[in-house]
Amino acid sequence: MSGQRWGWVRSVGMTTSWQEFGNLIVAALLGYVLGFEREIRGASAGVRVFTLIGVGAGTVGVLAMHGAPNALAGVITGIGFIGGALVFSQEIGREHLIRGITTAAAIFAAAGLGAAAGQGHLVLAVAGTVIALFVLETRHIRYLRFFDARHWAHRFRDDDQVPVIGETKEP
């Protein structure tokens, strides 16, 4: 009797396995990790946004494996809109300030990592998350600051500064 009661589940194409469920959990956790980093750094998008993006992209990754490969293209388009909404441009005197670009890029990474996890590429997704965290945290960890471009920027001229012929750079 119970087999007949739930027979309709198989008839509508529900073939989600425990492995796919585990993939979604991993996608959510990886999104959470990136969101946690963004939130402690004061970004406008944090744990909830990144976790939801990880779960959403992971779900689409699972769907893409089951015959909807174009769904991943929709994720990229949607993430572009979310990222675009986070980028804030402002003129302050002669300076042009852009804020939110790092968070927008991290959201793009979270979507890609979530999709990879959803498709079962867990090692790739975890490795990508570790690399993303390294990039996001480089300037905040004392021993990694050597790899931060801001550490070296004072030694170089800005792109906006046009060199004058015969000019010597002061030490």
C-alpha distances (whole Å) from 168 to each of 157, 162, 163 are 12, 13, 9
Digit-by-digit pLDDT tens for the chain (171 residues) are 445 555 544 444 555 689 999 999 999 999 999 999 999 999 989 999 999 999 999 999 999 998 888 888 999 889 988 888 888 877 777 777 788 999 999 999 999 999 999 999 999 999 999 999 999 998 888 888 888 888 888 888 777 666 666 665 555
Domain borders along the chain are 16-142
Q: Residue 35 and residue 43: Cα distance in Å, rounded?
A: 9
What pTM value is reported for the model?
Answer: 0.78
